[in-house]
């Protein structure tokens, strides 16, 4: 069960509760979308959802009572191993089959979504840097089903702090990355560290991780096998969590008019992919050994992460070369 599927499942339970008269009518904006996210540190399960907290007021019921009602409706779903209500009314889910979850997540990695379906906004960039931000926001929104436009005479004003003076001969893509990787309210630096070909440079790190993922797939093909999603083992959890949150990151980047959220998330995905590679001994079988199911699953996860990195860079208007 992917985050999108879980969101639809929870939303269906809430709608059925309303239809059955178990709770009062809930406004359309609440019934339109349920946000599912990876629990924060210290949380429980694979996913958490605050729908009971959001809908409790309109439904004229306590958040804990609504969460318990939804839990009762969902507890027989064979895709969910456990559902708990925590805190003031959060629903927490444990998936029944980690391998199935990983296969679904890998299959959806990098695909266009509908997290912003129905959104229609016109942006009016008010400065040179805001022009770059607006272009990225339009691409991100349209990739998630939203409809953003740029109009220099009308629309929502979009402003951004200007960059510091250029002190290095940056190529256009490094400059664009610097403008987007920095929060709109902060002034980006356009200087020499952006030219360094080391992992300390965030753009190089993202491109290197993408290139490494593609190289692993090519090397596996040379060994006579390919990726097949499954259970990659315990070291995969941090990378899986980041991939699962990618649609929510894209949505928040648009809602907050902050494409830096996507850029910074790509840096985290790149770091998690390289860490996963190192912790699992390089992903490919060593010493002439035949590939096992775990090797194929790890390769599929690395390929999915590479797809997310390439797609994210493309949304930001930055290329994802195969070799860096």
H-assigned helices in 82-236: 98-108, 128-143, 172-181, 202-222
Distance CA 93, CA 47 (A): 5
Distance CA 25, CA 3 (A): 25
**How does pLDDT run along the chain (324 residues), one tens digit per residue?**
777 788 889 988 988 888 888 888 776 666 666 788 878 777 788 889 999 998 888 888 899 999 999 999 998 888 899 999 999 999 999 988 777 778 888 988 888 888 788 889 999 999 999 999 999 999 999 999 999 999 999 999 999 999 987 667 889 999 999 999 999 999 998 888 888 899 999 999 999 999 999 999 999 998 888 999 988 888 888 898 889 888 889 989 999 999 999 999 999 999 999 999 998 887 788 766 788 888 899 999 999 999 999 999 999 999 999 988
CB 1 within 8 A of CB 101: yes
Helix orientation angle between 237-244 and 246-255, rounded to the nearest 10 degrees: 40
Structure tokens at 55: 């809908």
- The SS3 assignment for 318 reads coil
Strands 80-86 and 90-95, sheet pairing: antiparallel
pTM greater than the 0.85 cutoff: no
Q: What are phi and psi of 122, to 5 degrees?
A: -115, 125
Distance CA 143, CA 111 (A): 9
Q: Name the nearest CA neighbour of 241 among 220, 199, 269.
A: 269
DSSP characters over 173-214: HHHHHHHHHS-TTSPPP-SGGGG--STTSHHHHHHHHHHHHH
Dump pLDDT digits (tens) for 113-159.
887 888 899 999 999 999 999 999 999 999 999 999 999 999 999 99
């Amino acid at each position: 069960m992917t985050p999108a599927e879980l969101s639809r499942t929870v939303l269906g339970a809430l709608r059925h509760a309303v239809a059955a008269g178990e709770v009062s009518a809930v406004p359309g904006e609440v019934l339109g979308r349920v946000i599912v996210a990876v629990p924060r540190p210290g949380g429980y399960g694979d996913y958490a959802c605050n729908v009971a907290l959001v809908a409790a007021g309109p439904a004229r019921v306590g958040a804990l009572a609504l969460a318990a009602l939804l839990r009762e409706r969902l507890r027989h779903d064979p895709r969910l191993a456990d559902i708990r209500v925590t805190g003031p009314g959060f629903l927490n889910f444990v998936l029944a089959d980690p391998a199935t979850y990983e296969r679904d997540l890998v299959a959806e990695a990098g695909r266009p979504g509908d997290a912003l379906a129905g959104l229609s906004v016109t942006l009016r960039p008010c400065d040179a840097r805001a022009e770059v931000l607006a272009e990225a926001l339009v691409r991100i929104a349209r990739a998630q089903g939203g409809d953003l436009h740029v109009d220099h005479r009308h629309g929502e004003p979009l402003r951004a702090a200007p960059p510091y003076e250029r002190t290095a001969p940056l190529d256009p893509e490094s400059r664009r990355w610097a403008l987007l990787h920095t929060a709109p309210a902060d002034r980006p630096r356009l200087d020499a560290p952006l030219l360094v070909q080391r992992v300390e440079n965030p753009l190089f790190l993202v491109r290197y991780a993408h290139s490494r993922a593609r190289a692993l797939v090519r090397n596996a093909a040379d060994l006579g096998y390919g990726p097949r999603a499954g259970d990659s083992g315990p070291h995969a959890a941090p990378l899986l969590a980041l991939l699962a949150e990618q649609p929510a990151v894209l949505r928040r980047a648009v809602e907050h008019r902050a494409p830096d959220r996507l850029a910074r998330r790509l840096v985290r995905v790149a770091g998690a992919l390289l860490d996963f590679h190192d912790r699992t001994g390089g992903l490919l079988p060593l010493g002439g050994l035949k590939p096992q199911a775990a090797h194929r699953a790890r390769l599929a996860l690395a390929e999915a992460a590479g797809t997310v990195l390439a797609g994210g860079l493309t949304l930001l208007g930055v290329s994802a070369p195969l070799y860096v």
